[in-house]
Amino acid sequence: MLRFTLFLFTFFVVTSQSLYSQNRIERMEPPNWWVGMVSEDLEIMVYGKNIGLCEIRLEKYDGVVLKEVKKVQNSNYVFISLTIAPQTVPGNLVFTLNSEKEAQVDFTYPLLKREGNKQHTVGFSSADMVYLITPDRFANGNTSNDNVNGFADKVNRKDKGGRHGGDIQGIINHLGYLSDMGFTSLWINPTLENAMPKNSYHGYAITDFYKVDPRFGSNELYKVMVKKAKEKGLTVIMDMVANHIGLKHWWMKDLPSQDWINQWPEYTETNHRKSIILDPYAAAVDRKTFFDGWFVPTMPDLNQKNQELATYLIQNAIWWIEYSGISGIRMDTYPYPDMEFMNDWSKAISEEYPLFTIVGEEWSTNPNQVAYWQQGKKNYNNYESHLKSVMDFPLQSALVNSLNSEKTWASSWIELYETLAQDYVYADPNQLMIFSDNHDMSRMYTQLNEDFDLYKLALVYLATTRGIPQLYYGTEILMTNPGTDDHGIIRSDFPGGWENDAISAFTGLGLSLKQKEAQEFVKKLLNWRKGAAVVHDGALKHFAPKNKEEVYVLFRYNDQKKIMVVLNKNTKSVRVDLSTYKEVLGEELIGTDILSDVKIKEASELTIKARSAMIIAVE
């Protein structure tokens, strides 16, 4: 195995001549904080040449106490630990640096007033329809930032793995389209700096946790996007990464300490065996490899057991919530970081913002593994999570499998039915994020072998079952990745997002008739769902598909409203005897099919067309 030379770690040897003449503060992170936060604790990472060899004092400031100046292995870092009382007024803290060789130097740190009532920020919920965007591939709103000096990865739309130029301004320019389509929340793949030499467009190799990548825009523009989205009835979910960084992160040139990242004598990749988390027989070496192994050589694995790093990551998430006004976080690879850290991270955020929502990625088709991470779950090892939402990979897999399967002795709907029937393992199944597809898997239309009827059945199910539904950009116009599962192709450019595109999903220019039909279908379905409170939080009851029958029926209901959802996979029309559903319907059905606008009067049976769905608002 090749020796992984990255892990050679050097520290500064400081002589008396170099003490403070070189002293300069290059970074303070977080760059600011706010008064009136729920937590009174703040720890500032200060980075500068030999700063750890200086004495640091805080000038008197009412309400602020300097608890500790933490020195670490690398003398270029100190961690200043403060307590900020609730009634502290905004202003600038003044710190002094002293050394024996140089005159006293002052530096300031801003404490700001909180804007509005961000502590009451309401997160996303089952009332939302989430639209997932890979920003580099959605729309290019500002061509002047396509290439930026100092960033090696240049725009090349012909390179499937390269940067294509999409940016935050492109999202802002099309907020009206997204709102009109019926979406209410935007999950945006990471926009923080990825100063990697190539393949940096996806955003998951972060090189600066406090800076939006200039090829996407700026911190200020991200904040503007959140504000303008809210004006259009859209909230923003920020994609975050706590497990790893990019190899070109500024830390990697000068690590605070050797244990800042998970070090190995030779490069060691994670085994991806997430089952060990629940496995009572798991070997210690397997657990260590899972948690501490790297994803790839270009993504160093962070060691969240280092207390200063853990605090840094927690504060970073809180800083972005407070600064930008986002309404949710999607945490990448949730099970991979240290488990106790992830608990502390989610707990700290929920204590600061009780109504905020975090969804964690646990890519497993086993409901027991997904359920383990949700808040309120009673786990055999007493692990108590503070994570409100988890991504429902089991239901996504079951939906696709059921739609693609042929009936045998039993209905092909059975896998989907039985997966939903396992909701008893979840603390709150209505808080799970359900989805058609995402940036890491083949497009839904491809998964369904480009069968338009199955595509519509899938969308109806996602719009009406329990949970928080999410669609990937381009799902509404049948984007595909035929013949390949290459991520660069899956994340192809959204048509119309670039000047002079021959096809535009925003205007309809050049779309095929089927694409236009799909777009209109999605628009009608989502805008209906937006006002259908019974789907957001009503009770759910489904009926077991009968052997060899290809009809699946479920109901959403509360004291005021009731809807009946009928999904027919048969290649011919089917008559459905409504007496089977009398415990919910009563003796007869009166209502309107939302999709066709057809009224149903005093029916005892229902005819549903081949390979189609009905959403009946029951009267």
Catalytic residue among 136, 193, 361, 423: 361
Given the residues 292, 332, 493, 550, the one annotated as active site: 332
Q: Which residues pair with 133 in a beta bridge?
A: 188
Q: Does 520 qualify as catalytic in the annotation?
A: no
Burial of 531 (0-12, 13-18, 19+ CB in 10 A): exposed
Distance from C-alpha of 418 to C-alpha of 397, rounded to nearest angstrom: 12
**DSSP character string of 108-174:** EEEEEPPPTTGGG-----TT--EEEE-GGGT--S-GGGSS-TT----B-TT-TTSB----HHHHHHT
383 Cα distance to chain centroid: 23
What is the CA angle 113-33-336, rounded to 5? 135
Nearest residue to 133 via CA among 237, 242, 240: 237
Single-letter amino acid, residue 280: P
Strand, coil or helix: 612: strand
Coil/strand/helix, residue 460: helix
Note the Cα 11 to chain centre separation in Å: 36
**For residues 352 and 38, is the Cβ–Cβ distance under 8 A?**
yes
With CA atoms as reference, report the closest residue to 507 among 523, 492, 498, 496. 496
Q: Are 563 and 615 in contact (CB under 8 A)?
A: yes
Longest CA–CA span in the chain (Å) reads 94
Active-site residue, 361 included: yes
| Residues catalogued as catalytic | 332, 361
